[in-house]
Amino acid sequence: MDKTEKIVEITNLSKAYTQGHEQILVLEELDFSISKGEFISIVGPSGSGKSTFLNIVGLLDDVYSGEIRLFGRRLEDLGEAEKAVLRLKNIGFVFQFDSLLPEFTVLENIEMPARVLGGAAPGRGLELLKHFDLEVIAHKFPMEISGGEKQRAAMLRALRNGPALLIADEPTGNLDRHNSGVILDDLRRAADLGTAVLMVTHNEEAARRADRSLRMAGGRLETPK
Ligand SMILES: Nc1ncnc2c1ncn2[C@@H]1O[C@H](COP(=O)(O)OP(=O)(O)O)[C@@H](O)[C@H]1O
Ligand SMILES: [Mg+2]
């Protein structure tokens, strides 16, 4: 694995929200990069701009200033359609609260991103489930599995298309200690398989499991002393 290959490179990123007549600057001249297979955690107080940052990196928000390169390509050179494909193929998301579709089985949920791209192949989803020792829940529905299993299933769904980048916004925020540990093991494994993992967390232990831990403060990402 070429661990020097940059998956995301950001320079001078600023972002402000408009509230009434006021501009609230949330991100201010922030620089950041993450390489292939690297696991980075971000900590910081509530309201410091962590989710705002993840949404921009994940192409869910395109109102900002600064330069962003994803997979070596400048975002400003890409059209909306190209960005949509890039997001589907190369970026996986996991959020704090599980987002599995209740009327589909775990395997069907995991296959959903592939189906959207027109390439569903349940064998691949099953392989992922086996790889993470979860094949026993393949044919269960979300209401039949535990909170920890739901979160792990949502993570496998995010990994289904073999994304270069996995974005996780407080993925253990709703889990007990044991299940948080399992999710962190999974994220570590995903990184070791070559996915760049960018995780926001409130959990100090979670932050320590990453290759690099950054702190969001004053609109920037700092390396804690
Ligand atoms: N859509 C929005 N419109 C206006 N302000 C927002 C919006 N989203 C977030 N904010 C504000 O931006 C700041 C950063 O929010 P957020 O990125 O969600 O922080 P964090 O994820 O670190 O808790 C907060 O002050 C929040 O109130
Ligand atoms: Mg947040």
Taking the C-alpha atoms of residue 222 and residue 4, their distance in angstroms, rounded to an integer, is: 20
Sign of the four-CA dihedral 112, 113, 118, 121 = negative
Domains annotated on the chain, with CATH: 37-61+80-219 (3.40.50.300)
Ligand 2 centroid from CA 220, angstroms: 15
60 lines ligand 1 (CB under 6 A): no
**Cα-to-centroid distance, 53 and ligand 2 (Å):** 9
**What integer pLDDT is reported at residue 113 of this predicted model?**
85
**Whether the CB of 52 sits within 6 Å of ligand 1:** yes
pLDDT, tens digit, 9 for 90 and up, residues 16-64? 999 899 999 999 999 999 999 999 999 999 999 999 999 999 999 999 9
Q: What is the C-alpha separation between 161 and 157, in angstroms, rounded?
A: 8
Number of neighbouring beta carbons within 10 Å of residue 75: 18
pTM (2 decimals)? 0.93
Using alpha carbons, select from 107, 113, 101, 98 the residue that is nearest to residue 127: 107
For residue 215 and ligand 1, the question of a CB distance below 6 A is answered with: no
Rounded distance between C-alpha atoms, residue 29 and residue 12, angstroms: 4
Q: Distance from the CA of 84 to the center of ligand 2, in angstroms?
A: 23
Ligand 1 lined by 46 (C-beta under 6 Å) = yes
Work out which ligand 1 atom sits closest to the CA atom of 46. Answer: 23
pLDDT band for position 202 (50/70/90)? confident
Mutate to test the pocket of ligand 1, among 51, 167, 214 (most ligand atoms within 8 A of CB): 51
pLDDT in tens, 65-109: 999 999 999 999 999 999 998 898 899 999 888 789 999 999 999
The 3-class secondary structure across 86-104, one letter per residue, is: HHHHHEEEECCCCCCCCCC
Residue nearest to atom 18 of ligand 1 (CA): 51
pLDDT in tens, 107-133: 999 999 888 877 767 688 999 999 889
At 11 the pLDDT is: 97
Tell me the best of 52, 61, 200 to mutate to test the pocket of ligand 1, counting ligand atoms within 8 Å of each CB and taking the most: 52
| pLDDT at residue 99 in the model | 84
